Structure 1
Amino acid sequence: MKNYKVSVRTLAEYVYKSGSITSGFRATASLAEGTRIHQQIQKQYGEHDVKEVPLALEQNYEDIVFFIEGRCDGLLAAGQSYTIDEIKSTALDLHTLTETSYPVHWAQAKCYAAMFALLHNLDEIGVQLTYVQKNTEEIKRFKVNCSRQELAVFLEDMIKGFYHYANWKLQHLEERNKSCRDLPFPFENYRDGQRKLAGAVYKTINEKANLFANAPTGIGKTASTIFPSLKIMGQGECQKIFYLTAKTITRQTAEDTFSLMMDRGLVCKTVTITAKDKICFHDNGSCNPNECEFANGYYDRVNNAMLDILEHEQLITRSVIEEYAKKHNLCPFEFSLDLAYVCDAVVCDYNYVFDPRVSLKRMLDEQKKDTVLLVDEAHNLVDRARSMFSAELYKTPFLRIKRENKVNEPAISRAAKNINQYFIEEKKSLDNHYNKIMQNLPDDLLKGLEAFIEAAEPFLLERSGGGEHEDLLQGYFDVQNFLKISKLVDEHYSIYFEIQQNDAKIKLFCLNPSGLLKNILSGFRSAILFSATLSPAGYFMDMLGGGEEDYRISVPSPFTAEQNEVLISRISTRYRNREESIDRITDLLINILDGRKGNYLVFFPSHQYMNNVYGAFTAASSVNTIIQGSAMTEDEREGFLNSFQENKDSLFVGFAVLGGIFSEGVDLKGDRLSGVIITGVGLPQIGFERDIIKSHFQDQGKNGYDYAYVFPGMNKVLQAGGRLIRSEDDHGLIVLIDDRFLTAKYQGMLPENWKNYNLY
């Protein structure tokens, strides 16, 4: 007999969840609010009633012993009679709920009832659903009495419906773990530094710790992190791996690495999550089941589709998901999310783990404790986390909502009017200034936002969030997010109000995300944060939630100084000198590239600067060129990169923006890239928000200018330069154009193999 542990909720949802993806609008109580409502109901229990009752039961079916466990909300006692109480909070109008509205809720309650009746040999037990309207706190109950025999049959039928999946899962885990234990390193030899990194990753995961790794481009970081993670998985110490990336292009590298290992015997179900707007089959992105056939009846078909894809596929990429989603008539995005909960490895964007708005919320704490996070290009997580933990509201949408709903929905219109009025009064208080920093979040605004949610939510639920209410739906989501982020605001936030042209906004701006990141990371078994430019180490440990208990490693570059020809030019690219520098940089490019062959990338700190030099260069030279557009499609990006083919007989020059889509995560191996020329030190544009960051860290006794400008800027430079040398056989030219590269501060941040430079 094989053993399979399953929670009551998982069992009930797998077998009984049915129907459609309701809409893009989902009103659910937050975890904190759901807990509050549960506790409120439980306080009303009688003297002999018991809350939060843990239950566990073994049931044999076929060749599997199922260990079913869970915690029921309440056990109500009346003499010798008992009733299982299952509490559900909802934003729905309770008058719309009937006894048959949610079979999955009955399944959960009856499963608990069956377990208690069988454990205590009861002939009969009551089963009760208690629904609480989370805004009005109105209560509606449904109750039935069931015999032990009836519940035993019900439970057996549930297990029967779950058996096929459980049997597949047990066989798969056995095959997966053996393949991980037997898996050889996917390359003939370790590169210099690669074994050191892989060993550090293995040790870190084995000790349930976190690692911050600065590892140079070209050593094979992806294989060095995935391989030891799989080895730990093979020992049964880890059940899931998340490979997190900031950009689509680096997801391909992770997929290629898993594929390479699968060619060498790895059995591992790996799924890639693609953003909804990219993978959606529906023209307008609607999730309304009346408009989208892939949303309509989704949960009636998804179980068969899951087994189909899991039994036949290993590497579940975007194209594979699309194929099976079309075969089974499913929403491909929701399908990929459902697969993420059952697959062994998930390749996805940072936001599915870190963003409070879109994270994979169904992952339970015990599942996280068996999960390893591999955070690729972790230097990107600083600004991404700031964005994820920040929130803003604009005035104009509420003015539109007020006008659009004035006649038919006066309550919504009034709520929007109050918010709009708040913005008007704040604008008046600025007294000819454009912005101000606020000490606290105004209570009257918070109350107004909560009133808006209470007015909008029932309306949107009744209408399934159709496209005709797009402004209201977006306003609802924006307010919900703002309220959620408002609960995170502490001394690491700044609240500011700003006038922007004909609009105004209030923003909760996360200055230092380290505490929030640390809290998230602590829920997982282990996190490996790695990058070729995770330097200075102290800065990134500060910003990414590192502590004294965490490991950190810096792997030396395997590449020699002889592989780089490094030149530094004294031309100033400071903003005040840019106009006069255009001709000088143009002449420098023509002189440096004269007589050379191959492909070169020239990076600039802004589109305008790039366009000015590009115009001057093309006017003075007949060299073949290509330039990065300001809003390129995926096809245009691919076309830009494909223009860099092996080229030994002529000169080709690409112009791109520093810190943009072509300055990191791009792999132009061999003769596809002969040189990189970097104009400027990459400083972010001086502005209100960057100055707030500077002041914040200055007040903490750190160098605020470095934290806000220098370190992020130099990171862009190092990333761009990292496009050049990708293997032991690569050679190329690096040109740094700015006199600041010759100062002690910037010299200290240059890689060792760039320091043997010549002045030009």
Structure 2
Amino acid sequence: MDTPLSPHPVAVRTLCEFTARAGDLDLRFTPSPTAQEGMAGHALVALRRPAHWLREAPLQGEHAGLLVRGRADGIDPTAQRIEEVKTHRGPLSNQPANLRALHWAQARVYGALWAQQQGLPDTALLDIALVYLNIDDGEETALSEAHTVQALRQHFQSLCERYRHWADQEHAHRRARDRALQDLRFPHAGFRTGQRELAEACWRAARQGRVLLAQASTGIGKTVATVFATLKAMPEQALDRVFFLTAKTSGRQLALDTLQQLPGHACRALELVARDKACEHPDKACHGESCPLARGFYDRLPQARRAAVESAMQGHALDKAQVRALALDHQVCPYYLAQELARWSDVVVGDYNHWFDLSALLFALQQQEGWKVALLVDEAHNLVDRTRGMHTVALEQTELLALRRPAQPEAIRKAADGLQRQWARLNRSAPAAYHPLEPWPEGWHRALVKLMQALGEHQAEHPTDIDPQRQAFFLNAWPLQTLAERFGSHSLIDLHTTHEGPKPLSRITLRNVVPGPHLAPRLEAAHSLVLFSATLQPWHYHQRLLGLPDDTVCLDVPSPFRAEQLQVQVAHRLSTRYKDRARSLPHIVQTMARQWHERPGNYLAFFSSFEFMHQAGEALQAAHPDIPQWRQERGMREADQAAFLARFTPQGQGIGFAVLGGAFGEGIDLPGSRLIGAFIATLGLPQVNPVNDTFAARMDALFGTGQGHDMAYLYPGLQKVVQAAGRVIRTPQDEGVLHLMDDRFAQARVQALWPGWWSAPKPR
């Protein structure tokens, strides 16, 4: 028998957004408070209330098979007053009517839940209030309505009845999904070597609510193993959602293809793409007066949502193409339709930023809905750099200078002058072009906050006065101001000065060094987390930088490959260090030509930079014009990348030149004779520069002397090398050769980071 799932839980906000929103999508530029400012605003309102005022009061109630729950911002039980608190900037007259209606709907529902919880009689009166706090000046605007308990209950019940059909449908879908997943079978006749171990470890992580760090060779089928195991765990663990997060488009497609290989899983699968990839009218603004797909968006959304669910029930994945087709059929925005469908999808495939970024959609939905979520993080060796980037932001002084011209409003000009004085003071005190700012530049930061307040106040009071330079500065500075509130030893702030004009100008960058403190809420919110890749050693590198818990399970999956499949050769007497590159070219060319003539076929050659790559390519062409070659170019479009890979045919012969760490260093599959060898003429170490040296020093201070250099340089470099080498052996039948062309590859500490199945290197 099925385990009963009713009453169906639903958040107050979800209920109201589903039933009470109407009209246009309206995203005109109106500066709004940050999450931190919103929390501070709510705290300020609470301080102004009497001691008996209940803050963040948990409420819940049932109707029509629904369990509606949420937290009321404030309740005065003595006055029987329910307050819904919202923070804002600027005149409330600019607030869209549909947003005000949503706020009223939420406040009335909280009133009904309070009355139900307290057992109040139908005739009792409640004071329902919207309290808007201007975050800039602290002024409150309260709008209130008196309602009987009977009227509030009827309002609540009407929303529940309107949501009831959808909830019943979701209830039935959940039951059908879980039945299907209980019967799900692995899509292949058997597991590859190591694949079963990975699947079992992933299943245990979901059962135990643990973090799993799994290193598994490229080509064993990590995606199908992790997806299958997690889906199998969903019914037993009552998991609500599985989020498959990846760094590249190719990873998303592989996950979607894997789901198609699991027939009968009955999950709604959705692909999330970036806004610029989904926008149909990039020349228009996101509001009904500009974009036809924003006009009446919420009026047409129910039909589009229903059509999407019906399409998913027929077995169609809601990938980018399918969502676009559905959106255009119903004349709604594809990007925001996908955002809505994320609420109703069992498996969501998207970029890392959808969970780990400051404004991550999936994380916000989990917090709102209280979902029990399993995270699968593909190619997790990329996560350190990607999450560092999410929490790093720069601001150019040249952007500030545009705000000081006479045409700008006086308040903005004065605030910009104040920031410019502080910035010039920092420039004068900098002893070098690159200068870490220690201690934190308090004066500069205070001046930035004042300018941001002036910009926000002006824009709120004059919403039609759109100045591109003001808007650009605001949008660029806002993330820096937000991250500044979380500044600590895990980050640093620095100044980079140039002297191209009469006065020095600079760029200020707040850089994240250790993402862990930023990621902590995201890790805690997930029921289970599986991070998998072919290159995750040493374990402590990822555990420390990502802030993984002490009980993280580290699994090195047995490889299905044999040492004799890959001949590893090391050039013991060759240096590709920057100062030695010119001298290294003849030896590199000789090695490549000798190998190609001994065994003609397709090879990849990786270099540290485009410059070095082109130098080697020209040298090879001059000495051996008979060897076909093709090269990666800067900024290659997807079509150009596809053409590059198309040269690797089973009968082809030649050498493809590429940059290590670029588009062709990971995530490409060239099995069999499509690729029989690789040349790697670099250790892949990040460039030695003051920024990376500062990173190393900070990590020395945090993790112990000697750790910083390896964490900043060696580990990231060797991960790129192993990823690139992993292009050669893709199946248990493949055979190939790997030439590592640098004397440092002979060092024991470097070889300790290689995959365990590689053969002992042969000197050349």
TM-score normalized with structure 1 length: 0.93
Q: Deviations over 1:282-340 (max 9, x none)?
A: 13363243222222332222232112101212411111111111112222222222222
Partner of 2:496: 498
Letter paired with 1:749:
L
Partner of 1:425: 425
Partner SS state of residue 362, structure 1? helix
Letter paired with 2:145:
V
Q: Deviations over 1:379-430 (max 9, x none)?
A: 1111112211222211011112332xx3252222222332233222221222
Could you tell me how far apart the structure 1 residues matched to 2:622 and 2:160 are? Answer: 74
* 8 Å Cα contact 2:240/2:371 also seen in 1: no
Alignment CA distance shift 1:168-1:575 (3 Å):
same
Letter paired with 2:335:
F
Cα offset for 1:143? 1.8
Q: Deviations over 1:460-494 (max 9, x none)?
A: 3466688x533322211222211111122212222
Partner of 2:23: 19
Partner of 2:485: 487
Cα offset for 1:47? 6.4
Greater shift in the superposed pair: 712-721 or 141-150: 141-150
Partner of 1:739: 743
Could you tell me how far apart the structure 1 residues matched to 2:15 and 2:644 are? Answer: 49
Partner SS state of residue 180, structure 1? helix
Could you tell me how far apart the structure 2 residues matched to 1:11 and 1:371 are? Answer: 21
Partner of 1:180: 181
Partner SS state of residue 504, structure 1? strand
Partner SS state of residue 120, structure 1? coil
Greater shift in the superposed pair: 600-609 or 736-745: 736-745
Letter paired with 1:455:
A
Alignment CA distance shift 1:291-1:285 (3 Å):
closer
Q: Deviations over 1:638-691 (max 9, x none)?
A: 2212222222xx412110000111101111223221211111211111111111
Q: Deviations over 1:187-246 (max 9, x none)?
A: 110111111111111111211111111111111111111111111112243111111111
Q: Deviations over 1:113-146 (max 9, x none)?
A: 2333453123133322111111111222222222
Q: Does 1:72 align with 2:75?
A: no
Alignment CA distance shift 1:52-1:379 (3 Å):
closer
Letter paired with 2:61:
L
Partner of 1:141: 142
Partner SS state of residue 511, structure 2? strand
* 8 Å Cα contact 2:241/2:371 also seen in 1: no
Alignment CA distance shift 1:685-1:499 (3 Å):
same
Partner of 2:614: 611
Query: Where does 1:21-40 land on structure 2 (aligned, <5 Å)?
Result: 21-23=25-27, 25=29, 27-40=31-44
Partner SS state of residue 136, structure 1? coil
Partner of 1:598: 601
* 8 Å Cα contact 1:678/1:717 also seen in 2: yes
Q: Does 1:344 align with 2:346?
A: yes
Partner of 1:641: 645
Could you tell me how far apart the structure 1 residues matched to 2:194 and 2:310 are? Answer: 38
Partner of 1:478: 476
Could you tell me how far apart the structure 1 residues matched to 2:20 and 2:761 are? Answer: 67
Partner SS state of residue 235, structure 1? helix
* 8 Å Cα contact 1:460/1:473 also seen in 2: no
Alignment CA distance shift 1:178-1:285 (3 Å):
farther
Q: Does 1:575 align with 2:578?
A: yes
Partner of 2:436: 437
Could you tell me how far apart the structure 1 residues matched to 2:412 and 2:363 are? Answer: 29
Letter paired with 1:178:
R
What is the aligned-residue identity percentage?
31
* 8 Å Cα contact 2:363/2:522 also seen in 1: no
Letter paired with 1:551:
V
* 8 Å Cα contact 2:356/2:363 also seen in 1: no
Alignment CA distance shift 1:462-1:297 (3 Å):
farther
Could you tell me how far apart the structure 2 residues matched to 1:743 and 1:83 are? Answer: 72
Letter paired with 1:474:
A
Q: Which runs of 5+ in 1 are unaligned?
A: none
* 8 Å Cα contact 1:93/1:458 also seen in 2: no
Q: Deviations over 1:61-117 (max 9, x none)?
A: xxxx11222222233356xx6332222111131354698861111111111223334
* 8 Å Cα contact 1:357/1:481 also seen in 2: no
Q: Deviations over 1:259-288 (max 9, x none)?
A: 111xx2111111111111122111336324
Could you tell me how far apart the structure 1 residues matched to 2:96 and 2:364 are? Answer: 26
Partner of 1:190: 191
Partner of 1:41: 45
Letter paired with 1:151:
L
* 8 Å Cα contact 1:25/1:461 also seen in 2: no
- How big is the alpha-carbon RMSD for the aligned residues of Structure 1 and Structure 2? 2.3
Partner SS state of residue 147, structure 2? strand
Alignment CA distance shift 1:389-1:593 (3 Å):
same
Partner of 2:85: 87
Letter paired with 1:54:
P
Could you tell me how far apart the structure 2 residues matched to 1:68 and 1:517 are? Answer: 30
Partner of 2:318: 316
Could you tell me how far apart the structure 1 residues matched to 2:499 and 2:289 are? Answer: 40
Query: Where does 1:621-632 land on structure 2 (aligned, <5 Å)?
Result: 621-632=625-636
Partner of 1:391: 393
Could you tell me how far apart the structure 2 residues matched to 1:74 and 1:709 are? Answer: 51
Aligned residue among 548, 555, 559 for 2:561: 559
Letter paired with 1:103:
A
Partner SS state of residue 467, structure 2? helix
Query: Where does 1:210-225 land on structure 2 (aligned, <5 Å)?
Result: 210-225=211-226
Could you tell me how far apart the structure 2 residues matched to 1:639 and 1:442 are? Answer: 50
Query: Where does 1:610-759 land on structure 2 (aligned, <5 Å)?
Result: 610-620=613-623, 621-647=625-651, 650-699=652-701, 700-759=704-763
Could you tell me how far apart the structure 1 residues matched to 2:593 and 2:601 are? Answer: 14
Alignment CA distance shift 1:285-1:709 (3 Å):
farther
Partner of 2:509: 507
Q: Does 1:286 align with 2:289?
A: no
Cα offset for 1:368? 5.8
Letter paired with 1:43:
L
Alignment CA distance shift 1:101-1:582 (3 Å):
closer
Partner SS state of residue 507, structure 1? strand
Partner SS state of residue 12, structure 1? helix
Cα offset for 1:623? 2.6
Alignment CA distance shift 1:173-1:595 (3 Å):
same
Greater shift in the superposed pair: 746-755 or 727-736: 746-755
Could you tell me how far apart the structure 1 residues matched to 2:746 and 2:98 are? Answer: 74
* 8 Å Cα contact 1:270/1:315 also seen in 2: yes
Alignment CA distance shift 1:243-1:101 (3 Å):
closer
Greater shift in the superposed pair: 284-293 or 340-349: 284-293
Letter paired with 1:122:
D
Cα offset for 1:343? 0.9
Greater shift in the superposed pair: 392-401 or 613-622: 613-622
Could you tell me how far apart the structure 2 residues matched to 1:581 and 1:98 are? Answer: 66
Partner SS state of residue 55, structure 1? strand
* 8 Å Cα contact 1:177/1:236 also seen in 2: no
Could you tell me how far apart the structure 2 residues matched to 1:311 and 1:9 are? Answer: 24
Alignment CA distance shift 1:38-1:492 (3 Å):
closer
Could you tell me how far apart the structure 2 residues matched to 1:465 and 1:565 are? Answer: 67
May I ask how many residue pairs the two structures share in their alignment? 746
Could you tell me how far apart the structure 2 residues matched to 1:551 and 1:334 are? Answer: 37
Letter paired with 2:151:
E
Greater shift in the superposed pair: 411-420 or 226-235: 411-420
Partner of 2:236: 235
* 8 Å Cα contact 1:94/1:133 also seen in 2: no
Alignment CA distance shift 1:47-1:549 (3 Å):
closer
Letter paired with 1:389:
H
Aligned residue among 315, 318, 329 for 1:327: 329
Aligned residue among 101, 124, 133 for 1:103: 101
Alignment CA distance shift 1:187-1:24 (3 Å):
farther
Could you tell me how far apart the structure 1 residues matched to 2:95 and 2:348 are? Answer: 37
